[in-house]
Homo-oligomer: A and B are copies of this chain.
Amino acid sequence: MSTKPQDIAPESPAALVERLARAGRAAQAELARMPSPAKEAALKLAAAALRRAAPEILAANAIDMANGATRGLTPALLDRLRLDEGRVAAMADAVDQVAGLADPVGQEIDAATRPNGMVLRRVRVPIGLIGIIYESRPNVTADAAALCVRSGNAALLRGGSEAVHSNRAIHAALVAGLAEGGVPAAAVQLLPTQDRAAVGAMLTAAGLINMIVPRGGKSLVARVQADARVPVLAHLDGICHTFVHAAADPAMAEAIVLNAKMRRTGICGSMETLLIDATYPAAAALVAPLIAAGCEVRGDARARAIDPRIVPAADNDWDTEYLDAVLSVAVVDGLDAALAHIARHSSAHTDAIVTDDATAAARFLAEVDSAIVMHNASSQFADGGEFGLGAEIGIATGRLHARGPVALEGLTTYKWLVHGSGQVRS
Give residues in A with beta carbon < 8 Å to B. 29, 32-33, 112, 114, 118, 120, 125, 127-128, 210-211, 231, 249, 252, 255-256, 258-260, 263, 343, 352, 365-367, 369-378, 380-381, 386-388, 398-401, 403-405, 413-425
- Interchain CB contact (< 8 A) of A401 among B400, B404, B415: B400
Q: Are A413 and B425 in contact (CB under 8 A)?
A: no
| Choice from B369, B388, B421 contacting A125 with Cβ under 8 Å | B369
**Distance (whole angstroms) from the CB of A28 to the closest CB of chain B:** 10
30 A-B pairs (CB sep. < 8 Å)? A29-B369, A32-B369, A33-B366, A120-B388, A125-B369, A127-B399, A211-B399, A211-B400, A231-B398, A252-B422, A255-B422, A256-B422, A256-B424, A352-B418, A369-B415, A373-B416, A373-B417, A373-B418, A376-B419, A376-B420, A376-B422, A377-B418, A378-B424, A380-B424, A387-B416, A400-B400, A403-B413, A403-B414, A403-B415, A405-B416
Name the CB-closest residue of B to A259: B424
Cross-chain contact of A118 among B260, B381, B415 (Cβ < 8 A): B381
Is there an interface contact between A415 and B423, defined as CB atoms closer than 8 Å?
no
CB distance from A231 to the nearest CB of B (A): 5
Known contacts being A114-B386, A256-B424, A377-B423, is A372 close to B211, with CB within 8 Å?
no
User: What is the CA–CA distance of A421 and B358 in the complex, to the nearest angstrom?
Assistant: 12
- Chain B residues in 8 Å Cβ range of A210: 399-400
For residue A230, give the distance in angstroms from its CB to the closest CB of chain B: 10
Q: Are A386 and B422 in contact (CB under 8 A)?
A: no
Bound Cα distance A372, B419 (Å): 11
Whether the Cβ atoms of A413 and B386 lie closer than 8 Å is no
Q: Could you say which residues of chain B place their CB within 8 Å of the CB of A376?
A: 419-423
A425-B367 contact, Cβ under 8 Å, with A231-B231, A372-B416: no
User: Most B CB atoms within 10 A — which of A128, A258, A418, A423?
Assistant: A418
Instruction: List the B residue with the shortest CB-CB distance to A404.
Output: B416
In whole angstroms, what is the CA distance A400 to B400 when docked? 8
Is there an interface contact between B370 and A415, defined as CB atoms closer than 8 Å?
yes
> A375: which of B127, B249, B378, B418 is its contact (CB, 8 Å)?
B418
Q: Contact: B211 with A380, CB < 8 Å?
A: no
- Given the complex, which residues of B lie within 8 Å of A352, measured CB to CB? 418
Query: CA of A378 to CA of B376 in the docked complex: distance in angstroms?
Result: 53
Contact of B400 with A231 in the complex, beta carbons under 8 Å: yes
A388 to B381, CA, bound (A): 39
Identity of the chain B residue whose Cβ is nearest the Cβ of A418 in the assembled complex: B374
With A114-B388, A372-B415, A413-B403: A378-B423 Cβ-Cβ less than 8 Å: yes
| A187 to B: closest C-beta gap in Å | 16
- Give the chain B neighbours of A367 by CB distance below 8 A: 33
Q: A377-B418, A378-B423 are in contact. List 18 more A-B contacts (CB 8 A).
A: A32-B369, A112-B388, A120-B387, A210-B399, A258-B424, A260-B424, A370-B415, A372-B416, A372-B418, A373-B416, A375-B418, A377-B422, A380-B424, A400-B400, A403-B413, A403-B415, A404-B415, A405-B416
